[in-house]
Homo-oligomer: A and B are copies of this chain.
Amino acid sequence: MELRLCIVGFGNVGTGFAKILLDKGYNVMGRGIRITAIVDPVKGSVINQRGVDLAKALRLVAETGRLEGYGEGYVDEVDTLEVIKQDLHDVVIELTPTNIETGEPGYSHVKTALETGKHVITTNKGPVALHLYELLSLAGEKDLYLGFEGTVMSGTPLIKTLLYGMDRGLVKKVEGVLNGTTNYILTRMEEGLTYREALEEARLKGYAEADPSMDIDGHDLAAKASILASLIEGRQVTPRMIRRTSLRTYLEEAGYRDGTKYVLSVEPGDYRVEPREYPEGHPLRMLRGVENGVIIETEYLGRIFLSGPGAGREETGYAVLTDLIDLIRRL
């Protein structure tokens, strides 16, 4: 039987995932996939239990920025929670933007989906950083899947490595360069640019937001640190529990030195986001530009290093795909 997906949020990640599904002919691991709804507060929504045509939806969004004109099933405004609740879907793919203060609207989307019996895959850091264990426990009670690979390091399988490849009780430390924007800025500063020049260049390339505080003050890293800390501690660690040093403040006060990286470091009982200087040849120092990388230190196994893309439209869409594969394997 086809697996019916509701995509909530049709921005970069949503369209990236849609493109991958389309390339795969709506088929994952031999299982047919049908998109029963795409819901987006800005672009408009399409609800069609016989299946949304992703080629048409992607073409419309590329050409007009909206889903208007899709035809059958198009709705200008919908109550997202009401759509999620409907018995049209087996899986809700929650891809709305992260709000680290409230976790909303992602938190309500994920919770409502689980409460009404849908599996959930999300790339939204907010609900996971603030409420992972509450949501995992809800999913557990209802025997539902909750996938969140895309919340850290896009499709590079760091979350699955911690979940499936490790004894989490034996992880001694996770330390990594997991924010592409600041690593791009620091890489360009190592090449001679000033902080202002590097930030401006990052903006022009689309890596930094108009308000770059999420990245350069470390809020994005703190959210990721709280997700990784929650996983290795086996209980909820929230972004407020992370000792966070702003990269902007650090550069203003201490100045830039070669080998400076802006990292998260998580050990049992000690969670930080801070700039650190690494010697030449250190694997974290070798990460250039927007590339991400992480060292995991584990009892018995010692040190492993994983690097790969940390962001990107199709890279994060790929994270959703691997969670979907993981879900289908369990069904």
Name the contact of A166 in the complex, choosing from B157, B307, B314 (C-beta under 8 A): B157
A157-B161, A157-B165, A322-B167 given; A305·B308 CB < 8 A:
yes
CB distance from A233 to the nearest CB of B (A): 16
Of A105-113, A206-214, A296-304, the stretch lying at the interface with chain B is A296-304
CB distance from A13 to the nearest CB of B (A): 12
Contact with B along A145-163 (1 / 0, CB 8 A): 0000100001111001100
Chain B positions within 8 Å of A149 at CB level: 165
Expressed in whole angstroms, the Cα–Cα distance for A325 and B318 within the complex equals: 26
Q: Is the beta-carbon distance between A304 and B307 smaller than 8 angstroms?
A: yes
Q: Is the beta-carbon distance between A166 and B322 smaller than 8 angstroms?
A: yes
Expressed in whole angstroms, the Cα–Cα distance for A317 and B301 within the complex equals: 9
CB distance from A54 to the nearest CB of B (A): 15
A160-B164, A166-B157, A322-B166 given; A305·B305 CB < 8 A:
yes
Interface residues on A, range: 35 or more
A20 interfacial contact with B, CB 8 Å: yes
Q: Is the beta-carbon distance between B309 and A306 smaller than 8 angstroms?
A: no
CB distance from A161 to the nearest CB of B (A): 6
Name the contact of A306 in the complex, choosing from B160, B301, B305, B326 (C-beta under 8 A): B305
Q: Is the beta-carbon distance between A302 and B298 smaller than 8 angstroms?
A: no
Expressed in whole angstroms, the Cα–Cα distance for A305 and B308 within the complex equals: 6
CB distance from A270 to the nearest CB of B (A): 23
Expressed in whole angstroms, the Cα–Cα distance for A306 and B307 within the complex equals: 7
- The oligomer's copy count stands at 2
Chain B positions within 8 Å of A318 at CB level: 167, 298, 300-301
**Nearest B residue to A166, CB-CB:** B322
CB distance from A295 to the nearest CB of B (A): 10
CB distance from A302 to the nearest CB of B (A): 5
A193 interfacial contact with B, CB 8 Å: no
Chain B positions within 8 Å of A326 at CB level: 164
Most buried by B among A28, A149, A300: A300
A55 interfacial contact with B, CB 8 Å: no
CB distance from A103 to the nearest CB of B (A): 26
Q: Which residues of A in the span 231-249 have a Cβ within 8 Å of any Cβ on B?
A: none
Q: Is the beta-carbon distance between A167 and B325 smaller than 8 angstroms?
A: yes
Given pairs A161-B165, A301-B309, 20 additional interface contacts (CB within 8 A): A20-B300, A28-B167, A154-B301, A156-B301, A157-B161, A157-B164, A160-B160, A160-B164, A164-B164, A164-B322, A164-B326, A167-B322, A300-B315, A300-B318, A301-B308, A301-B314, A301-B315, A303-B309, A304-B309, A305-B307
Question: 14 A–B contact pairs at CB < 8 A?
Answer: A149-B165, A155-B298, A157-B164, A164-B164, A166-B322, A167-B321, A167-B322, A283-B307, A298-B318, A300-B317, A302-B309, A303-B309, A304-B306, A304-B308
